[in-house]
A = this chain, B = another copy of it.
Amino acid sequence: MSQDYSLGSVQTALTPQERFEEYLQSRGMRNTDQRRVLIERVFSSHDHFDADSLIEQLPRKGEDGYVSRPTVYRTLAEFVDAGLLRKFELDGRAVYEHDYGYPQHDHLYCTQCQKLIEFKSDELMQLREQVGRAHDFRVTGHRLIINGVCGDCRRQSRRPKRKQDLI
């Protein structure tokens, strides 16, 4: 039901479920089976995901616990609104990750295997404030993605080259 916030988590009083309940009540919104199914699924593992991969993990149409595609999109937007998820764009599609109870970080993106690797940098936070000051700009957030090739992919492509492979 709940999940582990290991790697660098932050002290949080409420579970995502509880936090979302609060959010709903404060807005006169209602909790439903679909919202419960989604928050359960979304917070049961700490992977990055997009709407499609989330839907793949959910019960199909006709099965118990099915949630329609529009409702998935609507609910993901609510999770972002509630501060539970963070959303960003990658190759033209929306990608989501845990926000609530999870520290600010950025990503390395392997253009070979599409893997996202998280990293934290305090210097970057300083840098963004400094740049903001220099441009009369009130900074509220940022998004940094460093592209390249991860170690695994580099090792895989470095297979011994025979004569036939050349040219």
What residues of chain A have their CB less than 8 Å away from a CB belonging to chain B?
89, 92, 94, 108, 110-111, 117, 119, 121, 123-124, 127-128, 131-132, 134-151, 154
**Chain B residues closer than 8 Å to A148, beta-carbon distance:** 132, 137-141
Residues B150 and A137 in contact, CB atoms below 8 Å apart: yes
Contacts of A94 in B (CB 8 A): 92
Please report whether the interface of chain A is mostly helix, strand, loop or mixed according to DSSP.
strand
Closest to A143 in B: B145
Can you list 12 A-B pairs, Cβ within 8 angstroms, ordered by A? A108-B139, A110-B137, A117-B137, A119-B134, A123-B123, A124-B127, A127-B127, A136-B151, A137-B150, A138-B149, A141-B147, A142-B144
Pick the contact of A139: B128, B141, B147 (CB < 8 A).
Answer: B147
Q: Flag if B127 contacts A131 (CB, 8 Å).
A: no
Verify B147–A135 contact, CB threshold 8 A.
no
A48 to B147, CA, bound (A): 22
Given known pairs A137-B148, A147-B140, A149-B137, the reply for A108 and B131 (CB within 8 Å) is: yes
